[in-house]
Structure 1
Amino acid sequence: MYTFDSFKEVIASSNKTDWDKLKQVMTIIQTVQESKDQALYDYSETFDNVKLDTLEVMQTDLESAYHDIEDDLRAALELAYKNIWDYQQSIKISDGEASELYQKVHPLNRVGVYVPGGTAPLVSTVLMTAVLAKVAGVSEIVVTTPPQQNGVNQAILAACHIAKVDRVFQVGGAQAIAALAYGTETVPAVDKIAGPGNQYVALAKKMVYGDVGIDSIAGPSEIVIVADDTTRADFVAYDLLAQAEHDVLARTFLISESKEKIEEIQRKVNELAGEQPRAAIIKTSLRDHHYSVHTVDKAETIDCVNFIAGEHVSIQTKDASSYIDQINTAGALFIGDCSPEAIGDYIAGPSHVLPTGGTARFSSGLTVNDFLRTNSIIALKKESFKNMAPGGMRLALEESLQAHHDSLACRMEENK
């Protein structure tokens, strides 16, 4: 158990770039640029132990998967789709009112979505990314997901069908990001890449940024939970386990002014961890990346939460709503017992693609507006131009840009 001061010292040294992995990722990106499809086939054998005959999954396979999955799973996916669509539609920005100065909004042309596969195929990520792009009006949505021995997970394909994804490719890892960024004979280059992934995916997104847009450079998933003496220990314990089961690198933070409550929650976590199917992952994550912080008062608790700038921040105290206006660096804020982080992961409506590793200090969760771009419209009338131009002319002279000055001056002469 840490004090806030001791915690700050420990956490400051935990975020470091893995230079060896970065070198590997740079090699992968270069190879995909040079060898294109062949590199994707080769890397699938090397990294995924899958020998592919084709990279693309046909639309008929998506439709078949939709009909083949269990009825309750299909219903859950469709409910999630509706909630996500409705929420994103409610926050979508629109054109400004036409005037002399206003803003136009345009959807991106083609977007790539990375969907993690493997032992925990993130079916929900399809909806939490592709539906946003669809609401934005993106013309073409391309999904990549790692190949599997028995083919791409059927629920992932069904979710792609529900979200009306245009093309799906069974390609994973840094090589998928490179393919989306630069294109191959089969995989089209996109305007922006979204979706979470492992360290290799995150580093690849970092390397291709600038040649293509990205949503964020996501690190391991994380949760920050604030508890008090009224908090249900079992609720918090399961929330911590839910985060830890993502990955051995997943980070969990428990903050409370009550030492007794921290200890009670820890006992409950220890009791429940062994019952989970992913117990080995959970125990490793909690051993290496769990932090319990005892704070002296509410003000220090809020300072600690804002210092962490966590992906998910769950407030489970008697006065949970009072934290809303005081926490300003959360990827998403979950208020009260009935708003656990898991409901946000799957079905509430806001996207679960959120800033991690402290980046909530300067970035936000994925929304429909990340798949839109804007441009300003300047359509001045003569009177407005005449009022503005003298100031512009003076600034142009100050910057020693004579042609800028003259561009304005000649029009002033014309409009006398």
Structure 2
Amino acid sequence: MLSKTQFIKQFEQDRIADERNTESVKNIIEDVKTNKDQAIFKYNKKFDNVDLEQIEVPQHEIKNSINLISHELKSALETSHKYIKAFQQKIKHENVTTGQTYQLYHPIEKVGIYVPGGKASYPSTVLMTATLAKVANVKEIIVVTPPQKDGIDPAILAACHITGVNRVFQVGGAQSIAALAYGTESIPKVDKIVGPGNQFVSLSKQLLYGVVGIDQIAGPSEIALIADEHSNVDYIIQDILAQAEHDEQARTFLLSTDQSFLSKVNQKLQQAIDLAPRKNIIEKSIKNFHYPILTTDINETIEVVNYIAPEHLSIQTTEPDLYIGKIKYVGAMFLGQYSPEAIGDYAAGPSHVLPTDQTARFSNGLTVNDFLTSHSVIHLDEHAYQEIAPSAIALAEEEGLYQHKQSLEVRLTNNKES
């Protein structure tokens, strides 16, 4: 186990960015920008070993997908969709009017959603993104997802059907982000791209920001857990494994002021890994990116968590409420032993698209409001103008912007003359 100082030193070393893929991603982006669909077909074959006749999934396949999944899965998708939709409707921004100035909100016109499809199938990502866009009244919702030899998983297409996705395209990786940013003969250019992905997807979003809007630049998925001597060891271990099974780079942090609890987890962890179906992935994640941290007291625990700024934070101590308001930087917080992070991945309501890699210090998880733009409206009457114009004139003079000052003064002068 690590002390606070030892952890920070090791973590900073582990976070050193690997920029070896930047040049290859730039080349892919330029290729797609120039050659459009031709480049997409080429990369589908090169990276995914899938030779397609068409990129777009036919509408009838999307509609029929609901008949290809089990009744239980259909019910699960619909139930999760209901909870997510209800939560997002409650937090959606509404127009604000304050006298003679107000703020108006509008849905983004076209949105692209990246749905991962490499090591697993993620219909939950469709639910956690497309539902939000639909609540925001986005006009056109486009999903891209890596092509599969046997076709796109019906569960993903069913989720697209339930949430109201307009079109689905079989393309993944950096090439899909470039296609959404610039448009191709088949894939429409969008205004914003959201959704998690691997390092190539994240890097391409970073490089294309400005050409297109993005939600965030995602790093490896991560969870921090806070436990004490009364926490359930088995619950904690399963929560660690649930995070680690995402991929080999997934990060897990376990903090406690109780050394014996950390020792108990360490003693039982390998046995649990050996029983896991995704052992090969979990084992690599735990070996390279699992951090058991012994803190001196609650204040040091809070300090370390705010430093990590984790994507997910699970607090399974006797009094988890003690941390509310003191831990500021986190994507989503889960309190108590019956609020595991996994419930947030699927059905609780808030989106599971969350800031990673310390970006929770300045950003937040995806919400319906990320699919809205806004602008202010200023409509002053003569009385309101006369009241605030002198302050504006003084500031214009201070800044040496004389025509600004004249633009303001002429309205006062004309008023006096009339």
Q: Structure 2 length as normaliser, TM-score? A: 0.98
Output the amino acid matched with 2:196. P
Paired position in structure 1 for 2:3: 3
Deviation at 1:355, TM superposition (A): 0.4
Paired position in structure 1 for 2:371: 371
Q: Distance in 2 between matches of 1:27 and 1:412?
A: 58
1:15-414 mapped onto 2 (5 Å cutoff): 15-97=15-97, 99-414=99-414
Deviation at 1:98, TM superposition (A): 5.8
The count of corresponding residues between Structure 1 and Structure 2 is: 416
Deviation at 1:274, TM superposition (A): 1.1
Deviation at 1:59, TM superposition (A): 1.6
Q: Distance in 2 between matches of 1:45 and 1:175?
A: 12
Q: Secondary structure at the match of 2:262?
A: helix
Output the amino acid matched with 2:173. G
Output the amino acid matched with 1:168. V
Deviation at 1:16, TM superposition (A): 2.6
Deviation at 1:386, TM superposition (A): 1.0
Q: Distance in 1 between matches of 2:413 and 2:267?
A: 81
Q: Distance in 2 between matches of 1:384 and 1:56?
A: 55
Output the amino acid matched with 1:9. K
Deviation at 1:97, TM superposition (A): 2.5
- The runs of 5 or more residues in structure 1 that have no matched partner are none
Q: Is the 8 A contact 1:244 1:251 kept in 2?
A: yes
**Bigger mean CA deviation after superposition, 10-19 or 345-354:** 10-19
Q: Is the 8 A contact 1:118 1:148 kept in 2?
A: no
Q: Distance in 1 between matches of 2:262 and 2:317?
A: 13
Deviation at 1:172, TM superposition (A): 0.1
Q: Distance in 2 between matches of 1:375 and 1:405?
A: 25
Deviation at 1:18, TM superposition (A): 2.1
Q: Distance in 2 between matches of 1:390 and 1:140?
A: 46
**Bigger mean CA deviation after superposition, 58-67 or 231-240:** 58-67
Moved over 3 A (4+): none
Q: Distance in 2 between matches of 1:240 and 1:376?
A: 45
Q: Distance in 2 between matches of 1:350 and 1:267?
A: 34
Q: Secondary structure at the match of 2:138?
A: coil
Deviation at 1:64, TM superposition (A): 0.8
1:357-388 Cα distance to aligned partner (Å, 9 max, x none): 01111110000010011111100010111112
Output the amino acid matched with 2:158. A
**Bigger mean CA deviation after superposition, 223-232 or 118-127:** 118-127
Deviation at 1:168, TM superposition (A): 0.5
**Bigger mean CA deviation after superposition, 117-126 or 81-90:** 117-126
Deviation at 1:122, TM superposition (A): 1.2
Q: Is the 8 A contact 1:237 1:266 kept in 2?
A: no
Q: Distance in 2 between matches of 1:98 and 1:8?
A: 47
Q: Structure 1 length as normaliser, TM-score? A: 0.99
Identical pairs, percent: 50
Q: Secondary structure at the match of 1:252?
A: strand
Output the amino acid matched with 1:221. S
Q: Distance in 1 between matches of 2:89 and 2:69?
A: 28
Output the amino acid matched with 1:218. A
- The runs of 5 or more residues in structure 2 that have no matched partner are none
1:126-169 Cα distance to aligned partner (Å, 9 max, x none): 01001000001111100000000011111000000000000100
1:322-355 Cα distance to aligned partner (Å, 9 max, x none): 1112111110000001100000001111000000
Deviation at 1:397, TM superposition (A): 2.2
1:224-273 Cα distance to aligned partner (Å, 9 max, x none): 00010000000000000000000000000000011110111122221111
Output the amino acid matched with 1:293. I
Q: Distance in 1 between matches of 2:381 and 2:15?
A: 53
Q: Distance in 1 between matches of 2:162 and 2:85?
A: 12
Q: Distance in 1 between matches of 2:148 and 2:409?
A: 66
Output the amino acid matched with 1:51. D
When the two chains are superposed, the root-mean-square deviation of aligned CA atoms in Å is 0.9
Q: Distance in 2 between matches of 1:380 and 1:179?
A: 44
Residue 26 and residue 264 in structure 1: after superposition, are their counterparts in 2 closer, same or farther (change >3 A)?
same
**Bigger mean CA deviation after superposition, 347-356 or 97-106:** 97-106
Paired position in structure 2 for 1:14: 14
